[in-house]
Amino acid sequence: MRRAFVVAKKDLMIEWRSRMLLVRVAPFALLVLVLFAVALDSEPLILRAAAGLVWLAMLFSSLLVVQRAFAIETDDAALDGLLIAAGEPAQVFFGKTIAAFVQLVSLAVLLVAGAIVLYGATVSASNIVLLVTTMLTASLGLASVGTLYGAAVANMNSKDSLLPLLAMPVAAPLLIGASRATEAAFGSQTIDAAAGWAWVALLAVFAVVFVSAGAAAFGTLVEAES
Amino acid sequence: MTNAAATPVSGTATSKGTATTATRLIGAAALALTAFVVVSAFWLTPADAVQGESVRIMYVHVPTAWVAYLAFVVTAITSGFSLARRHRTLGFDRVAGASAEVGVLFMAMTLVTGSLWGRLTWGTFWQWDPRLTTTLFLFVTYVGYLAVRNIDTDPQRRARRSAVIALLAVLEIPLVHFSVVLWRSLHQEASVLNPDGDVRLDGLMLFTLFAGVVAFSLIYVWLVLHRQRLAALADARITTGLDAAIAARRAEAASTSGAGA
């Protein structure tokens, strides 16, 4: 597991030095929030849809994060070197998932703050634990799915158009679960906190399934490229 | 140009096409049974007491849905074999791909016929009911799988990569289904009508439906057999096509220089 953290640290250091998350992904995510508000053009409607819009913006932004995570590996066939250095492909998968997870959690914080400021969403003190747990479990699921499918399309000619087509249907349960749990945390009339926790359980199952599947399949996917 | 390269490569007795006696028999049986289903569905069976004439869509809708699910199960199983075995992996891979192609086609027909029936019976083309939503995600998932298969690469690499994607799809579907069921049940919207409808099937209707399922299954088998043979020829053309093309050009050069002298 130590090697996974080394891989994660490497990815995050590259991210920190290039500031890609800060100058490109974060502004894009906020822009999506603004564009949703403009397109829907109704304040009660925006408030009602706030949770879903936050997670849609997360889904779109996560694709950018994942594309970036594999762009740095496919240049100069760096992935081959990384696989040799890490020993096991699963370690590389864990490392890249951890790095994506850290970035996605910070994006989620930004987007939830955006929903509170721009959409007027409110979080009562009793719901903060639910909201934070949702953000963590959903980000982990999204990071593992993104890393898995990012590896699947890395080195393909048309990877930029393929990744959304492959990853988005898979992330559908996550989108549904995270949106509903966040809606509950925002104090919706239709979903209470107990139902919100039921959705968090689904998110946790999703994360466990795709972290395990990724660890098992990553080797086959990246070896097939070389 | 392409024919010249493909013909010497095929290496089988059936250089005229991908048909064999078996596929011709299956094709003929499928055709005859389909003809019966058409006649029976339109003229012999009665209209439903509640749904009227629109019930006849069922004779296409149910068999196409059955074939689509069958095709995806076959894709999953053959992908598993393709990944697990050392030998004949490409054979299993080609069946997986052929089956997924036919499955996507039939799933599209299921969605279209279902929407038309929904418009007539429910008054809307689409209901966000768990089964419909899952089916839609299933369809998009396999469209993505086919997109991965379509990328130009050597067959071995394609086989491993697409097998992993197909097996991940198997993992995804229960999660999608479960989450969509939970999603709908928490919303508690009044459903317009039970998705199954309330169709009373008499003997001939049931028999026609059953004949439709058998006929479409035969069409599926026929299509997959042809499609995977075609894929085998295409793969052979990639792996040995270059050698054949070089040999053909050499022979051409020899013959023209011989004629010139």
Q: Is residue A226 assigned to a domain?
A: no
List of chain B residues whose C-beta atoms are within 8 Å of the C-beta of residue A176: 179-180, 182-183
What is the number of structural domains in chain B?
1
Q: Does B147 touch chain A (CB under 8 A)?
A: yes
Q: Is residue A44 assigned to a domain?
A: yes
Going residue by residue through chain B (261 aa), what tens digit of pLDDT does each one get?
334 433 444 444 445 678 888 889 999 999 999 999 999 888 888 887 777 788 888 899 999 999 999 999 999 999 999 988 877 788 999 999 999 999 999 999 999 998 998 888 888 888 888 888 888 999 999 999 999 888 877 788 888 889 999 999 988 888 888 888 887 765 444 444 444 555 566 788 888 889 999 999 999 999 999 999 999 888 888 778 778 888 888 888 888 775 554
List of chain B residues whose C-beta atoms are within 8 Å of the C-beta of residue A222: none
Q: Is residue B168 assigned to a domain?
A: yes
List of chain A residues whose C-beta atoms are within 8 Å of the C-beta of residue B164: 152, 217, 220-221, 224
Q: Which residue of A has its CA nearest to B139?
A: A169
Average pLDDT, chain A: 89
Q: Is the dihedral of CA A194, A197, A201, A203 positive or negative?
A: positive
- Residue A89 burial (CB < 10 Å; 0-12/13-18/19+)? buried
Nearest CB to A173 within list B140, B147, B176: B176
Tokens of B133: 């939503």
Print burial letters for B25-63: b (CB count within 10 Å at least 16), e (below 16): ebbebbeebbebbeebbeeebeebeebeebbbbbbbbbb
Q: How far is B219 from chain A (nearest CA, A)?
A: 29
* Contact check, Cβ <8 Å, B164/A220: yes
Residue B193 is predicted with a pLDDT of 45
- The parent domain of residue B234 ranges over 58-190+198-254
- The H-or-E segment that residue A1 falls in is none
Q: Is residue B210 assigned to a domain?
A: yes
Q: Does A204 touch chain B (CB under 8 A)?
A: no
Q: Does A195 touch chain B (CB under 8 A)?
A: yes
Higher local confidence (pLDDT), A142 or A79: A142
Which residues, listed in sequence order, are joined to residue B52 by a DSSP beta bridge?
A: B48
- Name which of A105-119, A147-161, B92-106 the model is least confident about: A147-161
Nearest CB to B151 within list A148, A158, A195: A158
Q: Does A33 touch chain B (CB under 8 A)?
A: no
What is the number of structural domains in chain A?
1
Q: Is residue B6 assigned to a domain?
A: no
Residue B11 is predicted with a pLDDT of 44
- The parent domain of residue A198 ranges over 2-221
- Residue B201 burial (CB < 10 Å; 0-12/13-18/19+)? middle
Segment A196-217, tens digit of pLDDT? 899 999 999 999 999 999 999 9
Q: How far apart are alpha carbons B80 and B45 in whole angstroms?
A: 42
Q: Is residue B96 assigned to a domain?
A: yes
Q: How far apart are alpha carbons A120 and A43 in whole angstroms?
A: 9
Query: Does position A226 have pLDDT exceeding 80, yes or no?
Result: no
Q: Does A208 touch chain B (CB under 8 A)?
A: no
Q: How far apart are alpha carbons B64 and B105 in whole angstroms?
A: 9
Residue B179 is predicted with a pLDDT of 85
Q: Does B157 touch chain A (CB under 8 A)?
A: yes
How many secondary structure helices (H) and strands (E) does chain B include?
7, 0
Q: How far apart are alpha carbons A101 and A15 in whole angstroms?
A: 13
Complex prediction ipTM: 0.86
Give residues 134 to 173 of A whose Cβ lies within 8 Å of B: 148, 152-153, 156-158, 162, 165-166, 168-170, 172-173
Nearest CB to B175 within list A156, A157, A209: A209
Q: Output phi, psi for B48, to 5 deg.
A: -75, 150
Residue B261 is predicted with a pLDDT of 47
- Of all residues in chain A, what percent carry a pLDDT higher than 70? 97
How remote is the C-alpha of B43 from its chain's centroid?
A: 29
